[in-house]
Amino acid sequence: MVRLCGHCCAQRAVLRRPKTAEQLCRECFYAALEEEVHQTIVGARLFRPGERVAVAASGGKDSTVLAHMLTTLNARYNYGLDLFLLSIDEGISGYRDDSLETVKRNEETYKIPLHVFSYKDLYGWTMDEIVREIGTRSNCTFCGVFRRQALDRGAALVKADKIATGHNADDVAETVLLNIIRGDVPRLGRCANIVTGEDSPLPRVKPFKYTYEKEIVMYAYFKKLDYFSTECIYAPYAARGFAREFVKDLEAARPRAIVDLIRSAEQFRVPGLDGVGNAAAAAALPQPGNCERCGYISSQAGSACLWEIIPS
Amino acid sequence: MELLFGNQKTVEADIPVSNGGQLTVAEAMAWARDNLLTERPELFMKGSSVRPGVLVLVNDTDWELCGELEAEVAEGDRVTFISTLHGG
């Protein structure tokens, strides 16, 4: 049973797009996805000509497709961006050392420079050493906070104007759900933003915010992109896994659910944020501040970042 | 995904066809689970289908275009499972 592409009507369809239910052949799928990401970039004005953009690269599917897509679109539409790859070596043996090899091959493939910064250099600890010290609880929480900071520090050291991350639509939908479950109101108000840290010296942008994971994986598979697909050895302990499975179940029942979750979150107005509500509402929200020990930004004024928890 | 299947990326399988009929992806999948899978079946299947988040292709075509579980497979066909449930 051969179905023809619903767009060119000439080639055999190879996939059904989850968001639109269109059935497309390979070439029409590539064109549609690339155009969609281009429209996202242009529509949200993610970049300006001449900007130096760090592509946060883990060697995984999302960042590999992001590096491929951004170099392609930058050349096709003359964005005028100075792109490079930025990787963080958390020091997780059997995981990050292998994935970094993939990133090094990406450097060759996409002909953009790679910069690697390690937890060991930045903090004096590898993730393996931290886990040995604290056990297997909350690893992803620590690692996430450290990586976020490490990317900022690394990007600043190599004078980037912006960081582009490979967060996809499924990731954003998961985060929305997690913030609802946790009742994290301030984060709920900003977690679906396509640009974060707009006022900071290093904004972060998500060109794949509306791109389904299925399509990223299919794109990588059909284009035979070289990516690393092993789960981090500490990830089975993460709470995010439950939200992830739930999002996949929702998608199986109704593919549009993912983008609908994101669109709903964009409509959230948090009293005290977004110019909604009064001063009392604003005062009731936790305000971001700086860590008392290391001076780095933390989500609550006067609180410490995770350094406190690590024995020094 | 290959970790669940004893680190093998591709497997040539001779799947016995019961009741003389046509083999479906559902049967091929259950056979792979019972005969090839070496660990953690819950990461591969949920109920009688794949775990949501695992993509299935039949001869490099999205199984959603071929009838999903009911898609028929014959000698020489290739069924591909891709997990999306790892970090990016």
Ranking A34-43, A167-176, A225-234 by mean pLDDT, the lowest is A225-234
pLDDT band at A66 (very low <50, low <70, confident <90, very high): very high
CB contact under 8 A, B62 and A251: no
pLDDT band at A302 (very low <50, low <70, confident <90, very high): very low
Q: Is the pLDDT of residue A9 over 70?
A: yes
Contact status of A148 with chain B (Cβ, < 8 Å): no
pLDDT band at A47 (very low <50, low <70, confident <90, very high): very high
Q: Which residue has the higher pLDDT, A219 or A239?
A: A219
pLDDT at A235: 67
Q: Which residue has the higher pLDDT, A81 or A93?
A: A81
Contact status of A16 with chain B (Cβ, < 8 Å): yes
Rounded to whole angstroms, the Cα distance separating A117 from A149 reads 11
Question: Can you name the residues that pair with B62 across neighbouring β-strands?
Answer: B57
Ranking A103-107, B4-8, B28-32, B35-39 by mean pLDDT, the lowest is B4-8
Minimal C-alpha gap between A249 and chain B (Å):
6
CB contact under 8 A, A60 and B86: yes
- The count of residues in chain A is 312
Q: Which residue has the higher pLDDT, A69 or B1?
A: A69
Ranking A115-124, A217-226, A300-309, B1-10 by mean pLDDT, the lowest is A300-309
> What average pLDDT score do residues A186-205 get?
87
* Chain B interface test: which of A248, A249, A250, A251 (most B C-beta within 10 Å): A248
Measured from the Cβ of residue A217, the count of other Cβ atoms closer than 10 Å reads 21
pLDDT at A300: 53
Contact status of A225 with chain B (Cβ, < 8 Å): no
pLDDT band at A288 (very low <50, low <70, confident <90, very high): low
Contact status of A99 with chain B (Cβ, < 8 Å): no
In chain A, which residues have their Cβ closer than 8 Å to the Cβ of B62? 14-16, 218
pLDDT at A38: 98
Q: Is the pLDDT of residue A117 over 50?
A: yes
Task: Render pLDDT for B10-25 as a digit per residue (tens, 0 to 9).
Answer: 888 788 877 667 888 9
Q: Is the pLDDT of residue A141 over 90?
A: no
Query: What mean pLDDT is reported for chain A?
Result: 86
What ipTM did this prediction achieve?
0.90
* Strand duo B45-46 + A289-290: pairing: unpaired
> What average pLDDT score do residues A230-246 get?
72
Minimal C-alpha gap between B76 and chain A (Å):
16
Question: Most confidently modeled of A110-119, A124-133, A179-188?
Answer: A110-119
Shortest CA distance from A213: residue in chain B: B84
Task: Render pLDDT for A151-190 as a digit per residue (tens, 0 to 9).
Answer: 999 999 999 999 999 999 999 999 999 999 888 888 887 8
Rounded to whole angstroms, the Cα distance separating A57 from A134 reads 27
Minimal C-alpha gap between A312 and chain B (Å):
29
* Complete domains list, chain A, with CATH: 26-268 (3.40.50.620)
pLDDT band at A48 (very low <50, low <70, confident <90, very high): very high
CB contact under 8 A, B53 and A248: yes
Shortest CA distance from A246: residue in chain B: B52
pLDDT band at A125 (very low <50, low <70, confident <90, very high): confident
Fold of B2-83: Ubiquitin-like (UB roll) (3.10.20)
Alpha-helical regions (H) of A118-239: 119-123, 127-134, 139-157, 169-182, 185-190, 213-222
Q: Among partner residues A23, A214, A252, which is closest to B65 by beta-carbon distance?
A: A23
Rounded to whole angstroms, the Cα distance separating B65 from B85 reads 22
Minimal C-alpha gap between A121 and chain B (Å):
23
The three state secondary structure string of A257-296 is: HHHHHHHHHHHCCCCCCCCCCCHHHHHHCCCCEECCCCCC
Tokens of A264: 């709903």
Query: What mean pLDDT is reported for chain B?
Result: 84
Q: Is the pLDDT of residue A219 over 90?
A: yes
Beta carbon pairs, A and B, within 8 Å: 71
Q: What are phi and psi of A89, to 5 degrees?
A: -100, 105
Q: Is the pLDDT of residue A37 over 80?
A: yes
- DSSP class of residue A4 equals B
**Nearest C-alpha neighbor of B80 from the set B62, B53, B65, B64:** B62
Q: Write down the domain spans for chain B.
A: 2-83
Percent of chain A with pLDDT over 70: 84
Contact status of A242 with chain B (Cβ, < 8 Å): no
In chain A, which residues have their Cβ closer than 8 Å to the Cβ of B47? none
pLDDT at A312: 39
> What average pLDDT score do residues A229-240 get?
67
Ranking A69-73, A192-196, B38-42 by mean pLDDT, the lowest is B38-42
CB contact under 8 A, B84 and A214: yes
> What average pLDDT score do residues A21-41 get?
97
Q: Which residue has the higher pLDDT, B86 or A218?
A: A218
